[in-house]
Amino acid sequence: MKKTYIVFILYFLGLCTIPMAQAQLNIEITQGMLGEIPIAITAFEGVQPPGVALGSIIKNDLSTSGRFKTITNLPGSAQNLRALPVKQWQDLGAENVVFGQVKSLGNNRYTVSFELVDTFNGGASAQRLIHKSYENIRAENFRALAHHISDVIYESLTGVKGAFSTRIAYILVNEAGQQYPYALEIADADGYNPKTLVLSKEPMMSPAWSPDGKRLAFVSFEKKQSEVYIIDIATGRRELIARFPGINGAPSWSFDSRSLALVLSKDGSPKIYTIDLLTKQLTSITQGMNIDTEPAFEPDGRSLLFTSNRGGQPQIYRIYLNNHSVERVTFTGNYNARPRVTQDGKKMVMIHQGSDGHFHIASQNLQTGEVSVLTNSDLDESPSLSPNGAMILYGTSDTKNSRRVLGMVTIDGRGRLRLPARQGNVQEPAWSPYLAVKSM
Amino acid sequence: MNKAENQSYTKYFLLAISLHCIVLAVILLNHSSQETLKISAMEPTHSMPKEIVASLAVIPSEAPKKIQKKIQIAEPQKLVQDLVKDLVQEQEINLEKIKAEKLAKLEKLEKELEKNKVEQLAKLEQAKREQAKIEAARLLEQNKERILAQKRITQVQQEAEKVAQKAAEQVLAQQQALAQQAQRANEQAQLLRMIDRYALLMRAKIHQNWRRPVGIDNLYKCKVAVKLGIHGEVVSAKVIDSSGNVEFDRSAELAILKSSPLPLPSDEKMRAPFNNFTFTFDPQMV
């Protein structure tokens, strides 16, 4: 009797567990198409200052970032687009849409507002993700505002801080009969608004932004020998940092702004030194008879990377500042030089000679050692990272190989573009850090 | 007795005779009263026949007393003869007595034996009777027990029958339960197959619609909770286990939203698992 009761109880329990077993269904999704965020940026309604169209600047920013794909064939005018049913946006493939309005306040001042909406969330009406207004904007600051709006959209959709409000520095070489063929210039990150800082008859090289973005260190041959200067961008005032016999070059700022790493050959072969910017005290970092150059501080301040031929061919090494112990960093390929590190310290970009013998920009994961080649033209040089680590600015040739121009590539190598060509050769680019937001 | 003993006895007889003569002489001389003659135990056995000698040896005490009385007689030879006669007579009488006694004893014994026999027979009979009684009693007991046993057997049989019947009923019930179980399991299996099929259909649709973010590592994964309407329209898709990357999370939610309506079975029972389910987005899991 007891036995049969037990059996029944077990059956009952067994039945009970069957629905339990399928308590929550979970389906695994493992595939998808890699793709940029499809975004539609409509023209801002209202009258804007002449020569400026906020929508186009934002569109340009986002598409050059390599993370967005802007949808261009938008039907109808701005007003119609606002009334467009969500379904149509979805059919166009837009995940997000940007609407904007400009209202003139007179006296060259405007009020600007914009909306970022989600077309797939929110059912019949698109879900509003962002809605912002900017009061009293001056016409001359419209570009800056556009870049700022791009930053906001970028960060909202990718989670990464936007770098559209940053600047670049470079050397423009214009040999065609100019008095001062060499110019040290800074411009907006999209190449607009160039501003000359230094004009020189002799070459200038290696511009390097200070961590606060207010100063530039650079190398000048104006005095027919190499010198390292720091220039204040706002005032234009210069300070001489190094003028030793032999080579003075490749300045690199420490992340705390207190010192500059330099290459000096005053004691024989080119070696790495650091100079304290307050005391001007010089500290010798590397030793030996071989060539050590192109230093770059790592974000934690405890070490720096540099190029050296101590192993035979140029490779990248790391030296610890406390005990001066050296370790090799690059092992792929016969030539690796000109290191630059991302702000999180995880990735390095460099010039890498590939198996085809050409020099390309490559990235190396500093944790795994994995190397990815990012560019494919003949001679790419001077890679410089955006402050969010998403883009690399570098020097390359234009399609006809007639001039040097600036190129940009995403850190994963997918998106590549060339900045608008200028007259002359553009070289030695340097990307600024995040800049303090100016009042607009 | 053998010849050697006979010869010794003869010697002793002669010795006895001589002794008698001396005694008689003494008596005759003394005229005295009777004198007890102490005859040794061995003496009277001399010329006696073997049987008497033997019996005399057995009953030594009586012989000397009898001989005492006969001694008051004159002539030694006659005395001796008489003595011998008397002795013999005595012996014969004794013998007779003894015989008689013996016979008597024998009889007695026989009687006793008889008596014993009879007693024993009687006892035997008694015993037999008692045995018979016991037997009878035992048989009775046995019978009783047999009857009881029978009763018990029949009881047990009856119970067994009952149990068997119950078992049979249970088996039937179990069979029915099993049949129901099997049917339910069948339905479950069918349901699971349906669920699998629709899960695959959903998966395929979402694979087509998932735009994976560029520019980020392939290491992210997240889990999204989904609520569907009756016709498969996506009512909500919300990340419950974030990947840590804003764009990855959004792309997962969007993949599901873009796939609305998701294919659902038309049978309401089969839709149950899809009332509240999740997707895990994990590009590493290929």
More confident residue, B7 or B91: B91
Q: Smallest Cβ distance to A31: which of B202, B207, B213?
A: B207
Task: Search chain A and give the residue with CA nearest B226.
Answer: A26
- The sign of the dihedral angle between the CA atoms of A6, A12, A13, A18 is positive
**Tens digit of each residue's pLDDT (9 = 90 or more) over A206-240:** 999 999 999 999 999 999 999 999 999 999 999 99
Q: Distance between CA atoms of A349 and A389, rounded to whole angstroms?
A: 10
Instruction: Answer yes or no: do A159 and B282 touch at CB < 8 A.
Output: no
Give the per-residue pLDDT at B45.
Answer: 45
**Tens digit of each residue's pLDDT (9 = 90 or more) over A303-356:** 999 999 999 999 999 999 999 999 999 999 999 999 999 998 999 999 999 888
- Chain B residues lying within 8 Å of A411, measured CB to CB: 215
Other Cβ atoms less than 10 A from the Cβ of A145: the count is 22
Report the candidate in B277, B241, B225 with the shortest Cα–Cα distance to residue A26. Answer: B277
More confident residue, A78 or A266: A266
Give the per-residue pLDDT at A418.
Answer: 73
- Chain B residues lying within 8 Å of A156, measured CB to CB: 246
Q: Smallest Cβ distance to A31: which of B192, B274, B286?
A: B286
Please determine, for residue A139, whether its predicted confidence score (pLDDT) is greater than 70. yes
**Tens digit of each residue's pLDDT (9 = 90 or more) over B81-93:** 777 777 777 777 7
**Tens digit of each residue's pLDDT (9 = 90 or more) over A268-308:** 999 999 999 999 999 999 999 999 999 999 999 999 999 99
Q: Average pLDDT, stretch A170-177?
A: 86
Give the per-residue pLDDT at B202.
Answer: 94
Q: Average pLDDT, stretch A368-386?
A: 90
Give the per-residue pLDDT at B41.
Answer: 40
Q: Average pLDDT, stretch B147-152?
A: 91
Q: Mutation test of the interface with chain A: which of B211, B240, B242, B277, choosing the one with the most A Cβ atoms within 10 A?
A: B211
Average pLDDT, chain A: 89
Give the per-residue pLDDT at A12.
Answer: 57
**Tens digit of each residue's pLDDT (9 = 90 or more) over A238-250:** 999 999 999 999 9
Instruction: Answer yes or no: do B280 and A24 touch at CB < 8 A.
Output: no
The pLDDT-based confidence of A379 (bands split at 50, 70, 90) is confident
Structure-token match 């002449």, residue found: A50
Q: Average pLDDT, stretch A85-100?
A: 89
Q: Distance between CA atoms of A396 and A412, rounded to whole angstroms?
A: 18
Give the per-residue pLDDT at B34.
Answer: 46
Report the candidate in A423, A105, A144, A11 with the shortest Cα–Cα distance to residue B181. Answer: A11
Q: Smallest Cβ distance to A29: which of B211, B254, B279?
A: B279
Please determine, for residue B218, whether its predicted confidence score (pLDDT) is greater than 70. yes
More confident residue, B56 or A360: A360
Report the candidate in A423, A409, A431 with the shortest Cα–Cα distance to residue A183. Answer: A423
Q: Distance between CA atoms of B212 and B210, rounded to whole angstroms?
A: 6
